[in-house]
Amino acid sequence: MTKVIVSGFSISIDGYGAGPDQSLENPLGKGGETLHTWMIETNMFHTMLGKDGGSLGADDDYATRSMEGFGAFILGRNMFGPIRGDWPDDRWKGWWGDNPPYHAPTFILTQYPRDPIEMEGGTVFHFVTDGIAAALERARAAAGEQNVKIGGGVSTVRQYLQADLVDEIHLVISPVVLGRGEALFAGIDLSALGFAVTEHATTEAATHIVLAR
Amino acid sequence: MTKVIVSGFSISIDGYGAGPDQSLENPLGKGGETLHTWMIETNMFHTMLGKDGGSLGADDDYATRSMEGFGAFILGRNMFGPIRGDWPDDRWKGWWGDNPPYHAPTFILTQYPRDPIEMEGGTVFHFVTDGIAAALERARAAAGEQNVKIGGGVSTVRQYLQADLVDEIHLVISPVVLGRGEALFAGIDLSALGFAVTEHATTEAATHIVLAR
């Protein structure tokens, strides 16, 4: 049975999944990039960028797991790019260059229709304008036997949690403070949704928590 | 210079410092006691209860540090006891028996005046009815060269943070989910208050974070 999973999702110790004042210069908000230091330092991420080295151990294991075994991805539009409103043209194809790290059908939540984009390496971006449930239905169909990953950002994860559509969350608490930003769990009762901690691992760079139900 | 410190303060991964539905049976709210497993398992805590054994290492070091070097403590009334409203009599003397773990003047924030109580081991409970600033002034005077600890609970820590009166926070993130409860940092901008992470350590039982400015 296909599971719907949030994975490798980083928050600050004050609970923010992105910093304040998002912009083209700061797509993750001010200070938001510090949430992801644990992943940037891993061998998995180095390899993804065609570099040698990087940390091994739990951070690397979880980083690998956060991108493997998924038959489809769902992303909020702001995670796909900085453009708001209608698409001015077809030039923007995501933050990730010609060969994005998804290698599978990837469904972008947006109010504005656009034709699919086939990228190198197996990623095809589909633009879904009829809501999160429709996007999940299409992602499930595309994923076959594999799992579906809700890739983010914060608002997208919150919407799927609030709709009771998430089976598992791998959360990463980074040792940073953001002060303001997008609070991942504010007003969401994880216990009522049936989540409990099923795994945790700690490293110098982060605390990894798996929540399942 | 005396510092005002919050120390050994535990929160869940969803940011709660106490669970929902506090009562005499659940003084920390439902599930709240699971926040403190890291401390209960330490050698420091075992020793405090007159028992042998318990964990050593970072958990024990931080547990020890959370009670040492303080010349005075400040507690919210709910941390002192379950009684609300006026004191019916002088029988309630805290949760901790005849020899509380403070061993120093301990100022209880309350709306209801009461005479000080001298306990065994150096703890004297003083009841302060004129607000958090007055309590801190008295605690500073009592502490001399030593630091003042804001012992909790959540509401008391939040009031001192909001009044910009805290110098340092040792926060402990326990690998548990509470779902609802008292959110420690909701609406408090730690970055604007000047806090940054200055220390972090991870163990099987918890993630320790020190925030200072």
- Determine, yes or no, domain membership for B179: yes
CB contact under 8 A, A14 and B15: yes
Among the residue ranges A46-60, A109-123, B22-36, B190-204, the one predicted with the least confidence is B22-36
* Alpha-carbon separation of residue B198 from A175, A187, B148 (angstroms): 9, 29, 20
Q: What is residue A29's predicted lDDT score, i.e. its pLDDT?
A: 87
Residue A103 has pLDDT above 90, yes or no: yes
Strand partners, B168: B5, B212
pLDDT band at B182 (very low <50, low <70, confident <90, very high): very high
Find the Cα–Cα–Cα–Cα dihedral A18, A19, A21, A26, rounded to 10°.
Answer: -80
> 3-class DSSP state for residue A155?
helix
Place of tokens 């001399």: B144
Token pair listed for B196: 């940054």
With contact defined as beta carbons under 8 Å apart, do B74 and B5 qualify? Answer: no
Is B90 part of a structural domain of the chain? no
Which chain A residue has the Cα nearest residue B200?
A175
B119: nearest Cα among B109, B110, B108, B130: B108
**For A67-95, what is each residue's pLDDT tens digit?**
999 999 999 998 998 888 899 998 999 98
Enumerate the residues of chain A whose CB falls inside 8 A of the CB of residue B179. Answer: 189-193, 195
A–B CB contacts, 8 A cutoff, strictly below? 79
List of residues 6+ apart from B190 with CB closer than 8 A: A14, A177, A179, B211
Is A48 inside a domain boundary? yes
User: Is residue B69, in this structure, part of any structural domain at all?
Assistant: yes
Structural domains counted in chain B: 1
CA distance A179 to chain B (A): 4
Smallest Cβ–Cβ distance between B200 and the set A175, A196, A200 belongs to A175
Query: Which residue range forms the structural domain that includes residue B168?
Result: 4-18+28-81+98-212
Contact between residue B9 and residue B208 where contact means Cβ atoms under 8 Å apart? no
Closest CA to A13 of B1, B191, B80: B191
Would the pLDDT of B24 be above 80?
A: no
- Give the closest residue to B11 by CA, choosing from B32, B26, B29: B32
Mean model confidence pLDDT for chain A: 95
Q: Do A175 and B13 touch (CB under 8 A)?
A: no
> Which of A31, A176, A209 has the CB atom closest to B175's CB atom?
A209
Question: What pLDDT sits at residue A22?
Answer: 82
**Using the beta-carbon criterion (under 8 Å), do B191 and A179 form an inter-chain contact?**
yes
d(CA A136, CA B93): 57
| CB–CB contact B14 A14 (8 Å) | no
Average of per-residue pLDDT across A105-109: 98
Q: What is the pLDDT of residue A84?
A: 86
pLDDT at A6: 98
Three-state secondary structure call for residue B155: helix
Residues A197, B175: C-beta atoms closer than 8 Å:
yes
For residue range B119-171, list pLDDT tens digits in order.
999 999 999 999 999 999 999 999 999 999 999 999 999 999 999 999 999 99
H-assigned helices in B41-131? 43-48, 58-65, 77-80
Q: Which of A175, A191, A207 sits opposite B177 (nearest CB)?
A: A191
ipTM of the complex, rounded to two decimals: 0.84
Contact yes or no for A118/A83 (Cβ under 8 A): no
β B105-109/B117-118 pair status: unpaired
Q: What CATH number corresponds to the domain at position A188?
A: 3.40.430.10
Contact B207 A176 (CB under 8 A): no
What local confidence, expressed as pLDDT, does residue B206 receive? 94
Ramachandran angles phi, psi of A79, nearest 5°:
-80, -25
Mean pLDDT of all residues in B110-120? 96
> Would residue B193 count as lying in a domain?
yes
Report the C-alpha gap between A30 and B52 in whole angstroms: 48
Residue of B177, B189, B207 lying closest to A197 (CB–CB):
B177
On whether residue A92 sits in a domain, the answer given is no
Contact yes or no for A200/A207 (Cβ under 8 A): yes
Measured CA to CA in angstroms, residue B12 lies from A10, B42, B76, B99, B183 at distances of: 16, 19, 20, 29, 9
Distance between CA B145 and CA A10 in Å, rounded? 40
| Confidence (pLDDT) at A27 | 82
Q: Flag whether B91 is in a domain.
A: no
Quote the pLDDT of residue B84.
Answer: 86
Chain A positions contacting chain B at CB under 8 Å are 13-15, 31, 171, 173, 175-180, 183, 185-186, 188-193, 195-197, 200, 202-204, 207, 209, 211
What's the pLDDT score for residue A58?
A: 95
Contacts of A183 in chain B (CB under 8 A): 186
Sort out which chain A residues have CB atoms less than 8 A from B13's CB and list them. Answer: 171, 173, 197, 209
Tokens linked to B17: 């410092």
Residue B187 preceded by cis peptide, ω within 30:
no
Let me know if residue B88 belongs to a domain: no
